[in-house]
Amino acid sequence: MDTNIKTTLISAIVSLVIAMGTSIYNTRKNIKIEKEIYFRKEKIESLKEKIQKLEDIGDFYNEQIVKLTSFYYNDISLDDLIKYHDFISNQIYKNFVNFSEGVINIPFNNQEKDILDRLKLENLKINFNSEITKTNSKLKNIYASWDLNPEFKTDNDNRLMSASEVMTKLIRYKFKTKIILNFLLELHLNEMSDIKTKKIDSEILMLKLNNELKKYNLKEL
């Protein structure tokens, strides 16, 4: 076979092998990117749902502060208190939130794993739901301690303050939880916008989160 033909043939084969290798590499890379896009979309939707539920919970307990204040300034009956007790009893499990379920707490890479390990979403969930339980218990038992005698309004004032303090603590914890979930949401939205060239620096991201918590005098992570 002529040397030039051999050289041309070998060159063509090499080019074909390189092209096939590049094509396989690009295909695998694109599949990985598509999987990540799907995965992060799932996380984004789930986080949005949790954040909205936190907003609803905050609104609910703010309403309870107003309602208890109306008890204090208006004449109420034992029947009113019993109805309120039953109303709160029906809310006991409705306001629980699971931040660690589904894909939210599943990392896509090692850097994200480091962030999730430091956020401790499972502990966040346990502590938040514990505050919910304590708050509901305090509200549920208002009817048992509330004095219907106008002469003892000062005692009711103390009960109102005690219940308000518990709810305020819960709402503050909700605010901290919302900051953390919004931090995760922002992380995934940023990753989606630049998914091919992204680089996660967990230290910088955690510093940013802690600065945000510090701004509101909340315990850092």
Contact 180, 209 (CB under 8 A): yes
Return the H-helix or E-strand segment holding 152: none
From first CA to last CA, the distance across the chain in angstroms is 72
The amino acid present at 37, given as its one-letter code, is I
| Mean of pLDDT values over 99-119 | 83
- As given in the structure block, the two tokens for residue 170 are 């819960």
The amino acid present at 61, given as its one-letter code, is Y
| Mean of pLDDT values over 57-82 | 85
* 21-48: burial string, b at 16+ Cβ within 10 Å, e else: eeeeeeeeeeeeeeebeeebeebbebbe
In 74-109, which ranges are continuous DSSP H helix? 78-89
| 144-194 per-position pLDDT tens digit | 777 777 666 667 778 888 888 888 889 889 999 999 999 988 888 887 776
Query: How far is C-alpha 54 from the chain's CA centre?
Result: 8
Give me the pLDDT at residue 56, please: 92
| Mean of pLDDT values over 108-133 | 88
Residue-range domain boundaries for the chain: 43-215
Residue 52 pLDDT class (50, 70, 90 cuts): very high
Give me the pLDDT at residue 196, please: 56
Please, is 64 exposed, middle or buried when counting C-beta atoms within 10 Å of its C-beta (0-12, 13-18, 19+)? Answer: buried
Query: In terms of pLDDT, which residue wins out, 139 or 6?
Result: 139
| 72-91 per-position pLDDT tens digit | 777 788 888 888 888 888 88
* 194-212: burial string, b at 16+ Cβ within 10 Å, e else: eeeeeebebeebbeebbeb
Judged against a pLDDT cut of 80, whether residue 214 lies above it is answered with yes
DSSP state of 212: H
Q: In whole angstroms, what is the distance from residue 71 CA to residue 47 CA? A: 36
Question: Which residues make Cβ contacts (< 8 Å) with residue 136, sequence separation at least 6?
Answer: 88, 89, 91, 92, 95
Give me the pLDDT at residue 48, please: 92
- As given in the structure block, the two tokens for residue 41 are 């979309």
In terms of Cα–Cα distance, which of 175, 135, 63, 50 is closest to 101?
Answer: 50
Judged against a pLDDT cut of 60, whether residue 23 lies above it is answered with no
Q: Is the pTM of this model over 0.75?
A: yes
Judged against a pLDDT cut of 60, whether residue 25 lies above it is answered with no
